[in-house]
């Protein structure tokens, strides 16, 4: 009877180790696929896509409002992007040509411009580092 219990315990241990190895293999596979996808996207010189998004707002009375919007993004590495967003009380277009960032609010017939010469990575750094209130 001891042999069976030992055999059962050994079988359970082997199955457990097999499952752990399988989980590690699945994780490694997923990481490799994510890396391959990221490398592929990083190598693209132009990227263009459309999107649909929803913004959920909860009022002080606990009512939920859903604002639907959609848009497009056209990106050309290393220094050009045009993005639009329409819906949810706004109709906005952003254009960066490697020298100037322009944001146009079509509903208000208003725009803003900033000189930000450089690449898209530089633009993102500038927007992140210099437009967040309270950040030094």
pLDDT digits (tens, 9 = 90+) for 54-79: 989 899 999 999 889 999 999 999 89
Instruction: Give the number of other Cβ atoms within 10 Å of residue 96's Cβ.
Output: 22
Taking CA 60 as the corner, what is the angle to CA 56 and CA 61, rounded to the nearest 5 degrees?
A: 95
Q: In 38-135, where do the E strands start and end?
A: 46-58, 64-76, 80-87, 90-96, 100-105, 110-115
DSSP SS3 for 128: helix
Q: What is the DSSP letter of 56?
A: E
pLDDT in tens, 96-114: 999 999 999 998 899 999 9
Q: Report the predicted TM-score, pTM, of the whole model to 2 decimal places.
A: 0.67
Contact 103, 94 (CB under 8 A): yes
């Amino acid at each position: 009877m001891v042999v069976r219990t030992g055999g059962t315990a050994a079988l359970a241990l082997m199955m457990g180790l097999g499952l752990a190895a399988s989980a590690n293999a699945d994780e490694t596979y997923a990481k490799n696929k994510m890396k391959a996808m990221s490398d592929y996207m990083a190598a693209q010189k132009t990227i263009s896509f459309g999107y649909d998004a929803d913004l959920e707002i909860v009022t002080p009375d606990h009512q939920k409002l859903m604002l639907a919007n959609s848009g497009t993004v056209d990106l050309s590495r290393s220094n050009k992007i045009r993005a639009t967003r329409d819906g949810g009380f706004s109709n906005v277009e952003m254009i960066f040509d490697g020298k100037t960032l322009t944001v146009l609010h079509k509903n208000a017939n208003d725009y803003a411009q900033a000189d930000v010469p450089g690449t898209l990575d530089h633009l993102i750094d500038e927007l992140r580092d210099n437009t967040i209130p309270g950040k030094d």
